Amino acid sequence: MGFHHIAIATRDVKANHEFYTGAMGFSLEKVQVGRSGETGHAKHLFYDTGNGEMIAFWDLHDPDLPKDWSPAIATGVGLPIWTNHIAFAASDLEDLARRRERMLAHGVDVMEMDHGWCTSIYATDPNGIMVEFCTSTRAFTDDEREAALRILADPNPELDPDPPMQVYRASEHRS
């Protein structure tokens, strides 16, 4: 089952909009405005990710909210950036490469990792949130499913080797 939308607050709606329409290639479909607190308002912006599922952002204008809140879903609560992140599907490796090139062309640095069963590209949005495009490169085996249950129950599992990684700098990108 897919999802309808994920909603996250943003502090810089202009940079957020440019990132999600430019670098990510999503389209703004709908904005609703509602009350926030006693005297404020909030815009709820809905972006289609390309398959009818959406990511939405709250643009908050409420004087009753704390002034120092962070929209970063991982680092904002003291966790490493890679823990809480949003992964979007890429259809295949060619699609992943096109998405990487689009991000670089929009000035966004990209990290690529081959996890052995999927390949991912990662970037950071203007909210300090890690976003990912990922494509599965093979199906899981029954042995892997059985191992997953064993590892889940193991309080001290063996570490997997670090996956191969490549960093692409937008400043070095040639379109």
Tell me the mean pLDDT in the region 115-120.
97
Q: Where are the domains of the chain?
A: 5-61, 80-172
Confidence class of residue 109 from pLDDT cuts 50, 70 and 90?
Answer: very high
Q: What are phi and psi of 78, to 5 degrees?
A: 90, 15
DSSP 8-state symbol, 105:
H
* C-alpha span between 17 and 138 (Å, rounded): 34
- Tell me the HSE value of 40 on the side-chain side, using a 13 A CA sphere: 13
Q: Check: CATH 3.40.30.10 for 5-61?
A: no
Tell me the mean pLDDT in the region 100-114.
98
Do 5-61 and 80-172 have matching folds? yes
pLDDT for 169 equals 97
Kindly tell me the sign of the dihedral angle through the C-alpha atoms of 6, 116, 172, 74: positive
* Structure confidence by residue, pLDDT tens digits, 67-100: 999 999 999 999 999 999 999 999 999 999 999 9
pTM: 0.92
CATH number of 80-172: 3.10.180.10
* Structure confidence by residue, pLDDT tens digits, 22-38: 999 999 999 999 999 99
